[in-house]
Amino acid sequence: MPVSRRVFYLLGLILFFGSCYEKKEGCLEVLASNFDLEADINCCENENDCCCEYPVLTLSLKQQYGTGNLSTTQTYLTNHDQPFQLEKINFFISDVRLTDGMNTYTVDDSLLVLAKDGKSSFEPDDITLVGSNLFSIRLGTFSRPGTYTRLEFTVGLTEPERSADRDQFDSEHPFAQDDLRDTINNQWLIYDVSWIPDTLTGDVTHLRLPADTSIPVSLPIDVSKDPGDNITIPIAIDYSQWFAEIDITADDQETISQKILAGLAASFTIL
């Protein structure tokens, strides 16, 4: 076959097979969980129809009292050998941050908050209502890779969320729920505990504290995250740190509240 015809033939084959190649659509965002190196077409050119999925930050919880798992049917003893039972525990976690030793980073998700003074701001959307029967908290999207040495968060609420009107939030948001809201005084609570301080009568009473105070928690971690990886941090909550120092017969409600607050930060540990 003459050279000219051979070249023409090869060019024809290249054009034929090239025309048969179908370009692949996929996620071209390297920080996404489903980043597709082989994709040719960005599936997120329209931000309202994007196929990219981003990694999330999750806390897995081990809820315990002392060395055993927390149980609502178990009778516990204070350090004064006074028996009591716990029926329900709810509290807020917010203002979650990971630090690499120099800088701190929050979840990527944001929430528009309108404060009572009329000022609006975008805040990290990481507020979670923690219950005694909850064992995993999906805090939100966290796409930044890195090595992190501390987990920091707040038990309770900080401003401007603390003074926010609940009516501005979606019905699925923790702020739209009544679990941690004093509807009579129209204020958020840092915690709401249903307990039985007298196991002879079995009467259930509430321990509540308005969210005008908050408890910072800082825990050492050793977590490395590659692009696209989720982060799951295992945490134990030991409620004996909350209740063991209470003297049921002698302490008034203010003293009980202060003792719970005093033990809050120490009740969290990294597993």
Flag whether pLDDT at 10 surpasses 60.
no
C-alpha closest to that of 72 among 91, 85, 57, 54? 85
**pLDDT, tens only, 174-226:** 888 888 888 888 888 999 999 999 999 999 999 999 988 899 999 999 999 99
Q: What integer is the mean pLDDT of 75-103?
A: 95
User: What is the share, in percent, of the chain residues with pLDDT greater than 90?
Assistant: 61
What lies within 8 Å, CB to CB, of 1 at 6+ separation is: 9
* Per-residue tokens: 64: 């315990």
For residues 92 and 174, the answer to whether their CB atoms sit within 8 Å is yes
Residues 244 and 185 in one domain: yes
- Total domains in the chain come to 2
Per-residue confidence band for 45, with pLDDT thresholds at 50, 70 and 90: confident
Residues of the domain holding 176: 56-270
Q: Both 114 and 29 in a single domain? A: no
49 and 146 share a domain? no
Give yes or no: residues 130 and 159 share one domain. yes
pLDDT above 70 coverage of the chain, percent: 90
Query: What is the C-alpha separation between 22 and 155, in angstroms, rounded?
Result: 53
The β-bridge partners of 60 are 136, 234
Checking if the pLDDT of 251 tops 50, the result is yes
| Domain end among 33, 53, 73 | 53
